[in-house]
């Protein structure tokens, strides 16, 4: 009987750990360097399975759902309410995937019209402190690291059977419940968690270009310095302005002046660059 009980417990634990768990983090950001008082918050998901984890914006899933329903209904982009999509715009346009089997981290983000993907090549060297406290229902322990030009303090818990965290953070003997930089520009705070059936399919528009991190940084710099020229010269194909839903009128397409459309695109891109002038990675 004891042997049967042990087998049943093992099967139960195997089933539990085989499921995907979603951890919801509130991300607080001061991403506009010209306006440090402008603080934005939004939720992001960290979905974890035994093989991998994926970190991405909650708003992205909501936008994808709206787009999918529109195309399935045959209406296309012209049938989508632009105001609704605008309300779901996100400062978290990137995706971070961690391959647990091979201990690798992959980062994806859009530059211009393409998605650029690279493998993170900088290790996280944590200094674990003996200091402990409690955040919510979890007993947590302090750890610190320098990463990408910022000093970070994390609080992790061993109350949950995961060794992971939001964004690129991980490598601690527990799940990161909170992590913030010393300037107070960025903070990730665990709000809740629950099980999901499987990883969602994340739609992406444009080509995916695999590069080294150094090449990603170079392309990003070019885009920031002159985003309109970057797109006009074809240094990205497939969809930056595809995130602009519908036409100038609320009813969909319609005829529009090309010069006016270009001017709106230029203003939109410049505004996006300004809003992200204080990035999470400074180096």
Q: Percent of the chain, pLDDT > 90?
A: 57
Among 30, 22, 271, 277, residue whose Cα is nearest residue 164? 22
What tokens does 194 get?
A: 């629950």
* CB neighbour class for 194 (10 Å; exposed up to 12, middle 13-18, buried from 19): exposed
Are 164 and 175 a contacting pair, CB within 8 Å?
Answer: yes
In the block, residue with structure tokens 């989508």: 80
Residue 147 to residues 124, 153, 167: CA-CA distances in angstroms? 7, 11, 12
- Strand spans (E) along the chain: 20-29, 40-48, 52-57, 95-99, 104-111, 114-119, 127-135, 138-147, 150-157, 175-181, 186-196, 208-210
Indicate the length of the chain as a whole number: 283
Task: Find the largest Cα–Cα distance for the chain.
Answer: 79
Dump pLDDT digits (tens) for 199-253: 988 877 778 999 999 999 999 999 888 887 888 776 654 333 333 323 333 344 4
User: Positive or negative CA dihedral for 227, 233, 234, 235?
Assistant: negative
Decide which of 251 and 132 is more confident.
Answer: 132
Q: Which helix (H) or strand (E) holds 266?
A: helix 258-275
Are 159 and 193 a contacting pair, CB within 8 Å?
Answer: no
- 8-12, 201-205, 251-255, 277-281, range with the lowest pLDDT: 8-12
- Mean pLDDT, residues 247-262: 56
Asked if the model's pLDDT at residue 32 lies above 80, the reply is yes
Are 45 and 24 a contacting pair, CB within 8 Å?
Answer: yes
Given this model, what pLDDT does residue 145 score? 98
Averaged pLDDT of the chain: 83
pLDDT grade, residue 263 (50/70/90)? confident
Q: Percent of the chain, pLDDT > 70?
A: 77
Residues contacting 91, CB < 8 A, separation 6+: 29, 31, 40, 42, 275, 276
Dump pLDDT digits (tens) for 33-70: 999 899 999 999 999 999 999 999 998 887 766 766 66
Give the CA-trace dihedral at 282, 218, 56, 206, to 10 degrees. Answer: 160
Given this model, what pLDDT does residue 80 score? 63
Given this model, what pLDDT does residue 83 score? 61
- 25-34, 72-81, 240-249, range with the lowest pLDDT: 240-249
Given this model, what pLDDT does residue 241 score? 36
User: Positive or negative CA dihedral for 65, 71, 74, 75?
Assistant: positive
- Mean pLDDT, residues 9-13: 41
What tokens does 128 get?
A: 């674990």
Residue 279 to residues 148, 229, 259, 273, 274: CA-CA distances in angstroms? 10, 22, 31, 10, 10
Cα separation, 96 vs 80, in Å, equals 28
């Amino acid at each position: 009987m004891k042997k049967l009980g042990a087998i049943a417990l093992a099967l139960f634990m195997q089933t539990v750990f085989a499921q995907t768990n979603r951890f919801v983090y509130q991300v607080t950001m001061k991403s506009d360097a010209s306006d440090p008082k402008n603080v934005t918050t939004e939720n992001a998901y960290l979905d974890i399975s035994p093989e991998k984890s994926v970190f991405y914006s909650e708003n992205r899933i909501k936008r994808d759902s709206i787009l999918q329903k529109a195309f399935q209904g045959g209406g296309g982009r012209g049938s989508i309410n632009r105001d609704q999509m605008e309300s779901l715009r996100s400062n978290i346009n990137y995706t971070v995937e961690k391959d647990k089997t091979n201990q690798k981290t992959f980062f994806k983000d859009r530059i211009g019209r393409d998605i650029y993907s690279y493998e993170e090549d900088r290790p996280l060297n944590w200094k674990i402190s003996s200091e402990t406290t409690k955040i919510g229902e979890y007993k947590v322990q302090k750890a610190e690291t320098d990463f990408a030009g910022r000093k970070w303090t994390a609080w992790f818990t061993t109350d949950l059977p995961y060794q992971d965290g939001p964004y690129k953070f991980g490598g601690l003997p527990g799940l990161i419940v909170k992590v913030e930089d010393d300037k107070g520009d960025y903070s990730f705070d665990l709000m809740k968690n629950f099980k999901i059936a499987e990883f969602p399919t994340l739609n992406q528009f444009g080509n995916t270009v695999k590069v080294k991190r150094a090449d990603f940084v170079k392309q990003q710099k070019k885009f920031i310095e002159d985003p309109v020229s970057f797109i006009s010269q074809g240094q990205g194909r497939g969809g930056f302005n595809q995130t602009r839903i519908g036409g100038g009128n609320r009813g969909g397409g319609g005829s529009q002046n090309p010069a006016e459309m270009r001017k709106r695109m230029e203003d939109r891109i410049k505004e996006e660059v300004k809003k992200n002038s204080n990035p999470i990675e400074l180096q």
